[in-house]
Amino acid sequence: MLWLQFVAKKLDRRISDLGATAVVERGLGDDQHPSGYEGALDPWMSSLWNMLYQINPKFFPNGPDFVISDTKLINQPKFQITYHEIDEVDLQSSSAPGLDHVLMQTGRARSMSPGKVSHIKNIPDCFLKMIKNQPLCRAGCGKDVRHFEFEFVSSIIEYRVGDVLEVLPGQDPAAVDAFLQCCNLNPESLITVHPIGMESRHCDAEGNDYKVPIKLKTFVELTMDIASASPRRYFFEVMSYFATAEHEKERLQYFASPEGRDDLYQYNQKERRTVLEVLEDFPSVQMPFEWLVQLVPPLKTRAFSISSSPSAHPNQVHLTVNVVSWTTPFKRKRAGLCSTWLAGLDPQDGMGAYIPAWFGKGSLPPPPLSIPLVLVGPGTGCAPFRGFVEERAIQDVSGSAAPIMFFFGCRNQENDFLYKDFWLSHAENGGPLSVARGGGLYVAFSRDQPQKVYVQHKMREQSQRVWNLLVEGASIYVSGSSTKMPSDVMSALEEIISKEAGVSRETAVLQLRRLEKDGRYHVEAWS
């Protein structure tokens, strides 16, 4: 969106330089608006039509707010569904159990999905099987953070500390069945999906053909987010054309109009209503599957920082995941799709799920073992740093690695001190986090005393030690929530540099910018 705004500003400036006069003030999109991009678009469009009506009313015989209600004018869906008879399909491998079958099904479905990014992205790098599901917080404390361990069950992918793992979540079978029933879809239908006007050929990077039909239910399970993501406004507009009950049609048309934008926000986005819930609220609507394929939000992978070192766990990858849940303003219970699904998997189940996974580079490049580190990772922000410490502990077996100062933060020492024993063990006996080595473990328990204490407070307490490591060439890594923490940590570092180096705050800011430019200051933050 920022890139598109840059283009709009540049074009507007160029046209003005050529002597043109704007009909209306330039409008810029805002995809972060609570109502989506329409929140900024609607007022601008209204001002444009009003101005054009004033300039030449002949082009607007019904006024600037006219509405064309002819259902024939709705755009055609962009994707075509081809249904296949069972005798048309080579079912030689379609009923074969095992990993190869799962790989084929996943590849076929996601290569046909309108929401695909690229063929390479949609063919999994590998499949994983969960072998450990361990709660890290005290039961009943109001938080649920899990440590997950996975084994490679297909090819082993080489990764490095600081990398991320993307997981394709499974969907609730009951929700999938309810969606199919609500939309009057046959789950056993064999289908292929392809853009209208293009051949139904979908190949991955290695040329494997994915125009082979797949069961409709499998396609929905692997590509369409029917019970987690909220639909966009256009979904309601298209629904209105297929509503047979007049009161439902009127309400959907109102939701799709600029006047109904705020009410749609209250109904849809604020409550995080899912596609399934919306369809159940408007039972007279029977949208063709072609429209559903196009408009239902795609089932996206979820990315997590890897919390293990491949040197310490050659055939495994570990994650540290906060199991997300919340209550809407109207007291609906909501839960994060992927985190809840992972938390519900049982490693002892011999029939456990094969988990499609992709590996990618994170924003925390693995540091050389000879460079001291200052790590700041409150909450689940500690995840990548668990891998960093494991890597240095392995290095210590053959040679001495550089020290690590680690600042961790949580609410209570007894409730959510994630990986407590792990950190403490590496802070003793000359480990990478030991003070004797020049490192240290410093934990801020924000709610164990009347006054809140956060990681930036602990950093200021260790001001001289932090500065000493920076002088020795240390790199700084910050990981965690993107709310206030990263800026608070940077402010603390500015204060530390200013105090210990005896320079102005402005000079300290410039020194931090130099660290960033030199690749010695890295931040990985998420909302």
> Could you read off the pLDDT of 143-175 as tens digits, one per residue?
999 999 999 998 899 999 999 999 999 999 999
DSSP 379: G
pLDDT of 85: 86
DSSP 224: B
Instruction: Please indicate, yes or no, if residue 353 is contained in any of the structural domains.
Output: no
CATH number for position 33: 3.40.50.360
Amino acid at 196: I
Instruction: Please indicate, yes or no, if residue 179 is contained in any of the structural domains.
Output: no
d(CA 223, CA 297): 9
Residue 305 C-alpha from the chain's centroid:
12
pLDDT of 121: 60
For 382, phi then psi, to 5°, come to -75, -15
- The DSSP-derived string for 427-444 is TSTT-TT-GGGT-EEEEE
Nearest-CA neighbor of 110 among 95, 127, 94, 123? 123
Q: Which residues contact 433 (CB under 8 A, 6 or more apart)?
A: 389, 403, 404, 405, 406, 423, 426, 427, 439, 440, 441
Q: Residue 423, exposed/middle/buried by CB under 10 A (0-12, 13-18, 19+)?
A: buried
Q: Based on the domain organization, do 246 and 384 belong to the same domain? A: no
Q: Based on the domain organization, do 385 and 494 belong to the same domain? A: yes
Instruction: Please indicate, yes or no, if residue 421 is contained in any of the structural domains.
Output: yes
Both structure tokens of 295:
């408009």
Instruction: Please indicate, yes or no, if residue 103 is contained in any of the structural domains.
Output: no
Q: Based on the domain organization, do 290 and 377 belong to the same domain? A: no
Mark which of 295, 322, 346 sits at the end of a domain.
295
Q: Based on the domain organization, do 284 and 380 belong to the same domain? A: no
Q: Based on the domain organization, do 251 and 386 belong to the same domain? A: no
What residue numbers bound the domain in which 498 lies? 373-526
Contact 102, 93 (CB under 8 A): no
Q: Based on the domain organization, do 282 and 378 belong to the same domain? A: no
CATH number for position 264: 1.20.990.10
Q: Based on the domain organization, do 389 and 506 belong to the same domain? A: yes
**515-519-523 Cα angle (round to 5):** 85
Neighbours of 60 (CB within 10 A): 16
CATH number for position 415: 3.40.50.80
Instruction: Please indicate, yes or no, if residue 512 is contained in any of the structural domains.
Output: yes
Q: Length of the chain in residues, anyone?
A: 527
Instruction: Please indicate, yes or no, if residue 519 is contained in any of the structural domains.
Output: yes
Mark which of 51, 68, 85 sits at the end of a domain.
68
Q: Based on the domain organization, do 286 and 382 belong to the same domain? A: no
Q: Based on the domain organization, do 402 and 520 belong to the same domain? A: yes
* Helix, strand, coil share (%) of the chain residues, nearest 5: 40, 20, 45
DSSP 72: G
Residue 327 C-alpha from the chain's centroid:
20
Instruction: Please indicate, yes or no, if residue 498 is contained in any of the structural domains.
Output: yes
Q: Based on the domain organization, do 399 and 522 belong to the same domain? A: yes
Q: Based on the domain organization, do 386 and 487 belong to the same domain? A: yes
Mark which of 43, 68, 93 sits at the end of a domain.
68
Contact 226, 276 (CB under 8 A): yes
Nearest-CA neighbor of 236 among 252, 219, 213, 257? 252
Q: Which residues contact 55 (CB under 8 A, 6 or more apart)?
A: 23
One digit per residue, the tens of pLDDT, for the chain of length 527 reads 444 566 777 777 778 778 788 777 777 766 555 555 565 666 676 677 677 767 777 666 555 554 444 445 577 899 999 999 876 665 544 444 577 778 788 888 888 888 765 444 678 999 999 999 999 999 999 999 999 999 999 889 999 999 999 999 999 999 999 999 999 999 999 999 988 876 544 454 444 455 689 999 999 999 999 999 999 999 999 999 999 999 999 999 999 998 999 999 999 999 999 999 999 999 999 999 999 999 999 999 999 999 999 999 999 999 999 999 999 999 999 999 999 999 999 998 866 678 999 999 999 999 999 999 999 999 999 999 999 999 999 988 777 889 999 999 999 999 999 999 999 999 998 899 999 999 999 999 999 999 999 999 999 999 999 999 999 999 999 999 888 999 999 999 999 999 999 999 999 999 999 999 999 999 999 87
pTM of the shown model: 0.85
Q: Based on the domain organization, do 415 and 291 belong to the same domain? A: no
d(CA 193, CA 214): 9
pLDDT of 61: 55
Instruction: Please indicate, yes or no, if residue 108 is contained in any of the structural domains.
Output: no
What is the domain count for the chain? 3
Neighbours of 340 (CB within 10 A): 18
